[in-house]
A and B are shown apart, each in its own frame.
Chain A
């Protein structure tokens, strides 16, 4: 049972464009929503995260928008750069051990 659904599976954007990745969750016990960036052959690295009591968080070119009532959240990458080409995972945290449930990932390609 996939508890965090992510779309699209792949995304191609021109340099300078906006990349948008969407996620939806079902489990209302989730209480922390991070996004991870993964380059080929490497472990995922935390990019940005949000708590459900906040509707938006911005860090540089990266913004998370969060809609608690719809149980949806999204990542916006402004002014996308070729160096942003990577796989992006949304995730949700629950439980006393803070274990992560991941979405299926989005492979982003930014064309020069």
Chain B
């Protein structure tokens, strides 16, 4: 069966510090991968998605970036965090093009920028 792992689960970072959140999917190949952000009490905003290694699409301009160095690995990064970057970050995947619509979410990473 397929599983998604996301870490770290929680982190507190000072303003201006770098960020790296990592996500891996097991049990599938060539997945579509996604990063979403959820601000406290708000909906989910799509940040980035990827349909393959090295292929990243950005939905919202900001100081975050994403990379996909391996087929089932997706990384969210920032060089300098802002207070407004605080939120609940969710990695998600689906089976890829022509293989279904269902998107599965990880358990999320809580980021507090202080």
Contact = CB atoms under 8 A, between A and B. Distances in A.
Interface of A: 6, 32, 34, 36, 41-46, 49, 89, 93, 96-105
Interface in B95-114: 97, 100-108, 110
B43 A104 contact: yes
B112 to A, nearest CB: 14
Given A32-B101, A42-B107, A45-B105, 6 more contacts: A6-B43, A34-B103, A49-B102, A89-B43, A93-B103, A104-B43
Nearest to A51: B101
Nearest to A2: B43
Contacts of A93: 101, 103
Interface string B46-64: 1001110000010100000
Contacts of B34: 99-100
Nearest to B55: A97
Chain B, interface size category, equals 20 to 34
Contacts of B107: 42-43
A60 B105 CA distance: 23
A76 B51 CA distance: 34
Interface in B67-104: 90, 92, 94, 97, 100-104
A44 B51 contact: no
A100 B108 contact: no
23 contacts: A6-B43, A32-B101, A36-B105, A42-B107, A42-B108, A43-B90, A43-B108, A44-B44, A44-B90, A46-B103, A46-B104, A89-B43, A93-B103, A97-B32, A97-B97, A98-B94, A98-B100, A99-B34, A99-B46, A101-B46, A102-B44, A102-B45, A103-B43
Contacts of A36: 105
A41 B105 CA distance: 12
Contacts of A44: 44, 90, 105
Nearest to B10: A41
